[in-house]
Structures are given as structure tokens and as C-alpha cells.
């Protein structure tokens, strides 16, 4: 038998020095939020960091796509304290959140008991999670994070699994099917942009040659449309610069856009909507995909001249 390595815990501060600028940014990425989804039994989409609640900023705000409810995540790369307990309640109230996730490196007993009390004494549709974040490695391997659920609503997992597992599986399968066909269409059209792996997420990113922005295609089945947008990561000055040229840009494109500065969020978005998406009816997929490719290429080529 070969050598068996020893699992060693790593200080999470070696991986993320700052909870707001490092850990929150890491967690908001697609693959990492999917890991948290698996732990919570949620389908978090529309993930935004540093959302203002009065003079304060909540680390992460997202939407559970299955239920449409607002979810907040407060990150604390240290032991729990009264200050952050107060913050999560304040943020939940200010943002009307139904699911509150508190991620820490150590859950003190008094705060674990407080979260348990909140779950047992608040209304049924308010749910609190207390999660410890740890990191481990074996020998010289890369460090791997691990979420450990310390407190959760008593019936949340059972309720979530019973009510949403079938619909989630169906939605994931439909997204994968759409993106697989979409990739085939992109290849058939001469690959005007690089294809990405077909997976269960609702968005598809297209490079625009800038670190500040990219084109994103989103499947919004519940509202019956596909959105093609210029997604600006964190640069309000860039949005304002583009908005100054709004009329010229829309004239070049040949269609009107929905300009969303999103003052309460870091990101900004400039959107075009294509109606007609219905996961129960694939008959128009060919037309929809041709429209998406055409709009995405026009937006990419036009906006590149203004970046």
C-alpha cells in the first residue's frame, strides 16, 4: 500500500486575508456559490457583493431561483460576535431576506444557541444558517475549503428536498440541453465567440477583451425571456461613460437597450431582452439561439469600440 497522507487544517486567513475583498469575491464566483448551494440546498442566482443597507454593506445578496426569495450571506473570518449577530438581523430586515447565512471560522456556543432560538421562534419562512468555514490540505497539496453547517432550520432540508428537488433537476436538465444546442449553433455559425462548457447554471459568459466587462447571456425561464447584457463588474465610471454615448450606441446597434446603473450594487448592466423562452416548448429554440448569437456579437463588437 502506498503512503497515506495526513489531513492538516490550514488557517483560512492564509487563503483569504480579508473577508470583504477576498473571501466574498471568491464565494461569489460561479463554481464556489454552487458549492454553497449544495450545502444549503438552494439555487442561488443574481449574486451581488457589498449591497448597501443604510450606511452598512451586506457582504453578499442573492436570490434563490426556486422560491424567488432574497438570501443574504454575512462573512466573518473570525469567531462569532454580537456585532455580526446584530448585523445579520439588520440586513435581513432591510433587504426583506427570508434566508440568512452567517459564515464564520468559529461558532461560539452563545451564538449557536442564538441562531437555534431564532430558527425556533421566528415565522416559518425565515431561515437562519450558521456555518463554519475550514480549510485542509494533504502534504503539499492545494488547500481545500470546507463548509460545516453548525445550525440550520429544523425542517429546511426536508422541506426543500420535497418541494424543489424534482423541479430543480428538471430546470438543470433544461439548461444543460439548451446550452448544448447553443454550442452546436455557435460552432455551426463559425464560432463567432469561444464556446463554454454546457452546465446547469443559467448564464453563459462571452469575452469582450476587457477585465471590466463581458457579455452575458441569461436564461430567465420563469419570466419567459433570454437576456443578453453587457455586464460591468465594478466600474460605475465606465457605465457613465457608455451612457453618455447611449444614443450613438443604440443607433449603431439598431435597437434600444435597458440601462441599469444599479446604484446599490457594485455591478452595472446594459440589457437586451429576447422574449419567447419556455422550457416546456423547444420548437422556437433555433430562432431564439440565432437571435442570441446575432445580438451578442453586435453588442460585443459595438461596445468594444467604446471601452
Q: Is the pLDDT of residue 163 over 70?
A: no
Lowest mean pLDDT segment, chosen from 115-124, 180-189, 239-248, 270-279: 115-124
Identify the sign of the CA torsion 292, 298, 302, 307. Answer: positive
Tell me the C-alpha distance between 236 and 238, whole Å.
5
Cell of 60: 453578499
Backbone region of residue 262 per phi and psi (left: phi > 0; alpha: psi in -120 to 50; beta: other values): left
Architecture of domain 163-304: 2-Layer Sandwich (3.30)
Cell of 117: 432560538
Q: Is the pLDDT of residue 117 over 80?
A: yes
What is the pLDDT confidence band of residue 158, given thresholds at 50, 70 and 90? Answer: very low
Interacting residues of 119 by C-beta distance below 8 A, sequence separation 6+: 127, 128, 151, 152, 153, 154
Vertex 274 angle, CA 268 and 278, to 5°: 115
Domain edges within the chain? 7-154, 163-304
Tell me the C-alpha distance between 183 and 181, whole Å.
5
Looking at residue 278, its pLDDT comes to 96
pTM of the model: 0.56
Looking at residue 78, its pLDDT comes to 92
Which contiguous run of DSSP H or E holds residue 168? Answer: helix 156-188
Looking at residue 168, its pLDDT comes to 66
Within this chain, domains 7-154 and 163-304 share the same CATH topology:
no
Architecture of domain 7-154: 3-Layer(aba) Sandwich (3.40)
The 213-220 sheet, strands edge to edge: 203-206, 213-220, 225-232, 268-275, 258-260
What is the pLDDT confidence band of residue 79, given thresholds at 50, 70 and 90? Answer: very high
Q: Is the pLDDT of residue 29 over 80?
A: yes
pLDDT tens, 91-101?
999 999 999 99
Looking at residue 121, its pLDDT comes to 86
The residue ranges of DSSP E strands in 54-142, in sequence order, are 56-64, 70-79, 99-106, 127-138
Q: Is the pLDDT of residue 89 over 50?
A: yes
Vertex 8 angle, CA 7 and 11, to 5°: 145
Tell me the C-alpha distance between 211 and 307, whole Å.
10
Amino acid at each position: 500500500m502506498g503512503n497515506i497522507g495526513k489531513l492538516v487544517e490550514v488557517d483560512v486567513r492564509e487563503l483569504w486575508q480579508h473577508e470583504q475583498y477576498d473571501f466574498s469575491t471568491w464565494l461569489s464566483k460561479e463554481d464556489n456559490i454552487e458549492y454553497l448551494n449544495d450545502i444549503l440546498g438552494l439555487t442561488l442566482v443574481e449574486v451581488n457583493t457589498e449591497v448597501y443597507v443604510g450606511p452598512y454593506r451586506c457582504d453578499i445578496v442573492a436570490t434563490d431561483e426556486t422560491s424567488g426569495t432574497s438570501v443574504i450571506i454575512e462573512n466573518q473570518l473570525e469567531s462569532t460576535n454580537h456585532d455580526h449577530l446584530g448585523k445579520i438581523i439588520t440586513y435581513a430586515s432591510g433587504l426583506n431576506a427570508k434566508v440568512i447565512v452567517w459564515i464564520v471560522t468559529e461558532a461560539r456556543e452563545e451564538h449557536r444557541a442564538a441562531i437555534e432560538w431564532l430558527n425556533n421562534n421566528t415565522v416559518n419562512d425565515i431561515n437562519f444558517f450558521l456555518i463554519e468555514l475550514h480549510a485542509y490540505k494533504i502534504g503539499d497539496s492545494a488547500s481545500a475549503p470546507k463548509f460545516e453547517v453548525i445550525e440550520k432550520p429544523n425542517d429546511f432540508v426536508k422541506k426543500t428536498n420535497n418541494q424543489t428537488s424534482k423541479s430543480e433537476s428538471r430546470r438543470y436538465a433544461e439548461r444543460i440541453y439548451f446550452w448544448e444546442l447553443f454550442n452546436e449553433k455557435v460552432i455551426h455559425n463559425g464560432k463567432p465567440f469561444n464556446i463554454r462548457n454546457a452546465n446547469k447554471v443559467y448564464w453563459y459568459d462571452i469575452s469582450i477583451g476587457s477585465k471590466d466587462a463581458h457579455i452575458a447571456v441569461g436564461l430567465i425561464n420563469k419570466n419567459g425571456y433570454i437576456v443578453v447584457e453587457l455586464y460591468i463588474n465594478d466600474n460605475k465610471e465606465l457605465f457613465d461613460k457608455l451612457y453618455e454615448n447611449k444614443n450613438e450606441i443604440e443607433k449603431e446597434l439598431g435597437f434600444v437597450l435597458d440601462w441599469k446603473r444599479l446604484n446599490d450594487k457594485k455591478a452595472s448592466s446594459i440589457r437586451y431582452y429576447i422574449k419567447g423562452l419556455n422550457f416546456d416548448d423547444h420548437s422556437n429554440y433555433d430562432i431564439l439561439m440565432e437571435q442570441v448569437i446575432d445580438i451578442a456579437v453586435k453588442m460585443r463588437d459595438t461596445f468594444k469600440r467604446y471601452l
